[in-house]
Structure 1
Amino acid sequence: MSYLKEFKSAVSRTAKWDLGEFTVNETAMPIDQAVLNAVEETGHIPFAQRAVQTLSVNFGMFHMLTRKFHIPGAVMTLGNVAVDGEMRHPATTAHFRKMIADESGEDQLGTYHLWTTLPGGVILDHVMPSALHADGIITVNDVVPAERFLYGPADELDHGLTYHPMIVGLEFFIASGTIDREAMEYLMGERFPKQYR
């Protein structure tokens, strides 16, 4: 199944679970490499530590992308990633449903992956290169910003990577007890981004 089909299913599931309404823009809108590099260079978590700090890294980069650089159509996406058909996490849709029911999201952070989906089914992930490098699957020159993140059409990624979205948006973090509503409203509100100026 294509990434966009899986993404549309995740969007539909998100709405069904009353976690927000999202639109799917099927037309890619490429981001200039200089902007991608600038987003990458704002990250404060060292490359080698990113593989074990997925939420901090990819949520932080999503925030930077949308609130500082104002890139439209970016959607926080949660699910699973496979390398050559082998899933890296135990995440399933039932797993996400249980995290909401139990409000156990904070305790389950390492059980799924998150990344940014951009229009046209393009992936932006600042964690996976670190994880693949740590596993010896790829070699990354971490002094080159463009090598520290993954950016490209989801159905054309190297290294046998396939992304499998299950839920989208930020409301899941609140519903699952991962981040409280007040903190999320502050992070995504108008006051917080002023520090980017």
Structure 2
Amino acid sequence: MNGAESLVRTMVKGGVDVCFTNPGTSEMHFVAALDRVPGMRCVLGLFEGVVTGAADGYYRMKGTPASTLLHLGPGLANGLANLHNAKKANSGIVNIVGQHAVYHIDYNAPLTSDIEGLARPMSSWVRTSPNSKSVAADGAAAIAAAKSAPGQIATLILPADTAWNEADGIAEVPAEQQRASYSPQAVE
């Protein structure tokens, strides 16, 4: 099982069973895993804003997080307006953002960008998976963050080589956490 499949299987086991996608070439192993893993529904969007808006709407209607698959930093940037709306509404979303292979980032290809820097203003949780062995655990942590009360946006950055290299398996999603959405002093 590669890193992408371990992540998709972890998502399904963790209750995230729909992925709104606008992928590019760096995400092809994740796209293949979406097709291979039973229980995951993949919905293609022709623009990243549609993808992030659909994930927000899904959470608002169903009350459970959906996931997105976005192509590199520019793809994430195209979806940020609806992620802003989702953050204000406390919607739980698990963003998967593709990244160049770790060993390729130093070549500064045309679409290389600071994905973590782009994600932080709209995400309460941001992490880049360093290798394929950590992808499932990172995905489980992202699911836990998105499912916390109130919901929040979790962005997992998935370098291409972490998706295609061999992984350890499926990770357990930590128990849901509840964050206070009000000031206890104000209530008192």
Normalising by the residue count of structure 1, what TM-score does the alignment of the two structures yield? 0.27
Which of structures 1 and 2 has the larger relative contact order (alpha carbons within 8 angstroms, sep 6+)? 1
